[in-house]
Amino acid sequence: MIQKLRHFIRSLEKTAIPQLSINCVIFGFHDRNLQVVVNRIALEGARIVVLPGGFVGQNEDVSKAVTRIVKESTSLERIMFQQFAVFGDASRTFGKEFKAMVANMNTEERQELAWISRRFVTICYMALVNFEKIKLHPTQYLETAEWMPIEKSKALSLDHKEIVESALATLRKELPYAPIASNLLPAKFTLPDLHALTEAILGRSIDRPNFRRKILKSEQIVKVGQDDSGQRRPADLYAFRHGKRTSLIDEYKFGF
Amino acid sequence: MIQKLRHFIRSLEKTAIPQLSINCVIFGFHDRNLQVVVNRIALEGARIVVLPGGFVGQNEDVSKAVTRIVKESTSLERIMFQQFAVFGDASRTFGKEFKAMVANMNTEERQELAWISRRFVTICYMALVNFEKIKLHPTQYLETAEWMPIEKSKALSLDHKEIVESALATLRKELPYAPIASNLLPAKFTLPDLHALTEAILGRSIDRPNFRRKILKSEQIVKVGQDDSGQRRPADLYAFRHGKRTSLIDEYKFGF
DNA sequence: TGTATTTGAGTCAGAATGACTCAAATATAC
DNA sequence: GTATATTTGAGTCATTCTGACTCAAATACA
């Protein structure tokens, strides 16, 4: 057990709300795939891969804690995020990997970990970021930060696999309401980019010509450039309209 | 300060997760209005009106706590509920009314209230219930339970007004995905009922003939009766189809 | 120069939408 | 008993949207 982490946990006892954690699903779009930021922790042999997370300071707003946690992993400061789930079963602790480690400890060491060994309720947030703008870096305590395609998120430790699944379901539901794409794409993008992103989020193929027609008709995006340094035929560049609602269908308008 | 409540708080210290509460927005539909269950508490002069709420036992799943809290106010056991928000500002305590009361107390009394005087993060759930099936009754500790039309929910204490607003926004978003209406209406209902409910949820008027056409075309409901003991022309009775998806539009199908 | 691939644009039948009108059924007033 | 107001159920129609297509233009690479 590394000193630094031990110290961190001792400090939490005095400064953070007990039994409450935050987890963040930070989505990015790259290689025509949705990806999430994960942290790797080497815990005495056991390698565990988790979502970025943390705790809430006694004098800290929950939303501030989320901002802080996202910033720790991505350096991004002004991001949009959304709460989407709570995982709070009574049996929810830091998992087998953690328990195995604790088993090898003496009484004193175990007591130091008492705070973090309790049952935790975790509040889950999702954030959408522009992949290219992110510089991932390890957080203060042991972790490395990296991107993981969502198809591989089954490998996550604890219940974080289910958290990602829940986040993805929420993302799909939010698609028609929130300006999702504008957060996941760079300022200038091509229609094929937006098409691939929408397919990645919905998890199924969408007819290209029809997608193009519908998006253009909605006037959410404006052509801002002529060329693209691609491989085949160059595509037009677009940007989301400032001010114009950037959802794919009208809000609260289900055909009535 | 009534003995019973005092005792309750003392017991929470040992049995419940600290600084974490649950609040429930329980929706019903009556008099063509959306209504929510509220509890009234008489706290030494100050009358405060709050949403049903409670705390999570150390050995209790969060979802079980929600079930328990809903049951306390409504006697309903098997209800669907959904988490929709978290309120967690650092300044979030039990409010002015509570503070005023504490100000009149001696040191010992204050210490007894220490647990509940801390900053609390509250997890919010919404539930949809059939108004007619509910027998509201006071919970174990001082409260009376009653229905309140959502338009009057501005009168709620603490930040519970905002919680209701957030719940309503969620309800509107969920409308096309979840079998919402089937939870809010009795087993047999008329099309005008369903129409009025949809208008109440969306907060705007919907063309009746068009609504009728669309609902019937979707084959979500089946005619189950001929007559209704109404005042004017009798309306047909309908029931939601068992098995058939009871949403108003197709899931994840935003026109692509 | 030719070919494969990708982008942008168009066609067309069928379905859905929004704004309507109109007749049938009933309680209540007269 | 009849007329009237109100509510329910059904239909019309022009416009728009959808889904499944085809096809030409632009480029890299063989």
Predicted confidence (pLDDT) per residue in A213-235, tens digit: 999 998 889 999 877 666 788 89
Asked if B169 is an interface residue toward chain A (Cβ–Cβ < 8 A), one would say: no
Residues B228, B139 within the same domain: no
pLDDT higher than 50, residue B255: no
Is A175 a domain residue? no
User: Can you give the residue range of the structural domain that contains A195?
Assistant: 180-254
B235 touches strand D (CB under 7 A): yes
Our measurement of CA B251 to C1' D26, in angstroms, reads 38
Is A191 a domain residue? yes
For A20-34, B55-69, B126-140, which range has the lowest pLDDT when averaged over its residues? Answer: B126-140
Mean local confidence (pLDDT), A76-88: 92
Nearest to A121 among B17, B249, B256 (CB): B17
Please give, rounded to a whole number of angstroms, the shortest distance from the CA of A145 to a CA of chain B. 27
Asked if A173 is an interface residue toward chain B (Cβ–Cβ < 8 A), one would say: yes
For A245-249, B139-143, B204-208, which range has the lowest pLDDT when averaged over its residues? Answer: A245-249
Q: What is the model's pLDDT at position B92?
A: 94
Please give, rounded to a whole number of angstroms, the shortest distance from the CA of B100 to a CA of chain A. 22
Q: What is the model's pLDDT at position B140?
A: 66
Closest Cα to residue B20, out of A66, A17, A115?
A17
- Report pLDDT digits (tens) over A154-178: 989 889 999 999 999 999 888 876 6
Is B175 a domain residue? no
Sign of CA dihedral A214, A216, A221, A225: positive
Residues A115, A91 within the same domain: yes
Q: What is the model's pLDDT at position B77?
A: 87
CA angle B26, A125, A191 (to 5 degrees): 110
pLDDT higher than 90, residue B105: no
Q: What is the count of structural domains for chain B? A: 2
Q: How far apart are CA B116 and CA B158, in angstroms?
A: 14
Q: Which residue of B has its CA nearest to A253?
A: B202
Residue A2: pLDDT band (50, 70, 90) is low
Residues A77, A156 within the same domain: yes
Residues B158, B83 within the same domain: yes
Q: Considering B170, B188, B205, which residue would you say is the last residue of a domain?
A: B170
- Report pLDDT digits (tens) over A103-113: 778 888 888 88
* pLDDT cut 70: percent of chain A above it: 88
Residue B108: pLDDT band (50, 70, 90) is confident
Residue A69: pLDDT band (50, 70, 90) is very high
Is B142 a domain residue? yes
CB A22 within 8 A of CB A56: yes
Question: DSSP states of A215-227 as a string?
Answer: HHHHT-EEEEES-
Q: In 10 A of CB B44, how many CB atoms?
A: 11
Residues B122, B219 within the same domain: no
Our measurement of CA A32 to C1' D29, in angstroms, reads 23
Which pair of structure tokens corresponds to residue B49?
Answer: 């009106």
Residue A80: pLDDT band (50, 70, 90) is confident
Q: Considering A113, A135, A170, which residue would you say is the last residue of a domain?
A: A170
* pLDDT cut 70: percent of chain B above it: 88
> Residue written as tokens 């905002």?
B162
Mean local confidence (pLDDT), A46-69: 94
Residues B132, B238 within the same domain: no
Residue B244: pLDDT band (50, 70, 90) is very low
Q: How far apart are CA A9 and CA A163, in angstroms?
A: 24
pLDDT higher than 60, residue B1: no
DSSP E strand stretches across B129-214: 144-149, 189-190
CATH number of the structural domain spanning residue B87: 3.90.79.10
Burial label for B99, CB within 10 Å (0-12, 13-18, 19+), is exposed
| 8 Å CB contact of A198 and B256 | yes
Our measurement of CA B29 to C1' D4, in angstroms, reads 32
B256 touches strand D (CB under 7 A): yes
Residues A166, A205 within the same domain: no
Amino acid at residue number A90:
A
pLDDT higher than 90, residue B147: yes
Which pair of structure tokens corresponds to residue A7?
Answer: 């110290």
Rounded to the nearest 10 degrees, the angle between the axes of helix B160-174 and helix B191-202 is: 130
CATH number of the structural domain spanning residue A191: 1.10.10.10
Q: Which residue of B has its CA nearest to A171?
A: B252
Mean local confidence (pLDDT), B89-102: 82
- What is the number of CB-based contacts under 8 A between chain A and chain B? 101
Q: Which residue of A has its CA nearest to B210?
A: A256
Cβ neighbours of B19 in A, within 8 Å: 17-18, 20
Q: What is the model's pLDDT at position A42?
A: 73
Residues B162, B208 within the same domain: no
Mean local confidence (pLDDT), B54-65: 97
Average pLDDT over all residues of chain B: 86
Which pair of structure tokens corresponds to residue A184?
Answer: 């996941």
Residues B29, B150 within the same domain: yes
Element (H, E) at A40: strand A33-43
- Report pLDDT digits (tens) over A107-159: 888 888 889 989 999 999 999 999 988 888 776 666 788 999 999 999 898 89
Q: Which nucleotide is nearest to B214 (CA to C1')?
A: C16
Please give, rounded to a whole number of angstroms, the shortest distance from the CA of B120 to a CA of chain A. 9
Our measurement of CA B253 to C1' C5, in angstroms, reads 29
| 8 Å CB contact of A88 and B56 | yes
Enumerate residues 6+ apart whose C-beta is below 8 A from B87: B121, B122, B124, B159, B162, B163
Residues B93, B217 within the same domain: no
Residue B112: pLDDT band (50, 70, 90) is confident
Hits for CB < 7 Å against strand D across A residues 205-244:
207-210, 213-214, 217, 227, 231-234
Q: Considering B139, B170, B201, which residue would you say is the last residue of a domain?
A: B170
Residue A246: pLDDT band (50, 70, 90) is very low
Our measurement of CA B188 to C1' D8, in angstroms, reads 17
pLDDT higher than 60, residue B245: no
Please give, rounded to a whole number of angstroms, the shortest distance from the CA of A92 to a CA of chain B. 9
Residue B39: pLDDT band (50, 70, 90) is very high
pLDDT higher than 90, residue B161: yes
Mean local confidence (pLDDT), A68-74: 92
| 8 Å CB contact of B61 and A256 | no
Nearest residue, CA→C1' of C5? A232
Q: In 10 A of CB B238, how many CB atoms?
A: 22
Residue B144: pLDDT band (50, 70, 90) is confident
Asked if B209 is an interface residue toward chain A (Cβ–Cβ < 8 A), one would say: no
| 8 Å CB contact of B119 and A61 | no
- Report pLDDT digits (tens) over B181-234: 888 999 999 999 999 999 999 999 999 999 999 999 988 899 998 776 667 888
Q: Which residue of B has its CA nearest to A172?
A: B252
Residues A138, A190 within the same domain: no
Is B47 a domain residue? yes
Asked if B85 is an interface residue toward chain A (Cβ–Cβ < 8 A), one would say: yes
Asked if A25 is an interface residue toward chain B (Cβ–Cβ < 8 A), one would say: no
Asked if B88 is an interface residue toward chain A (Cβ–Cβ < 8 A), one would say: yes
CB-contacts to strand C (7 A): A 190-192, 208-210, 212-213, 230-236, 253, 255-256; B 207-210, 213-214, 217, 227, 231-234
Cβ neighbours of A12 in B, within 8 Å: none
Residues B186, B213 within the same domain: yes
CA distances from A172 to A160, A182, A202, A213, B236 (A): 18, 15, 6, 21, 36
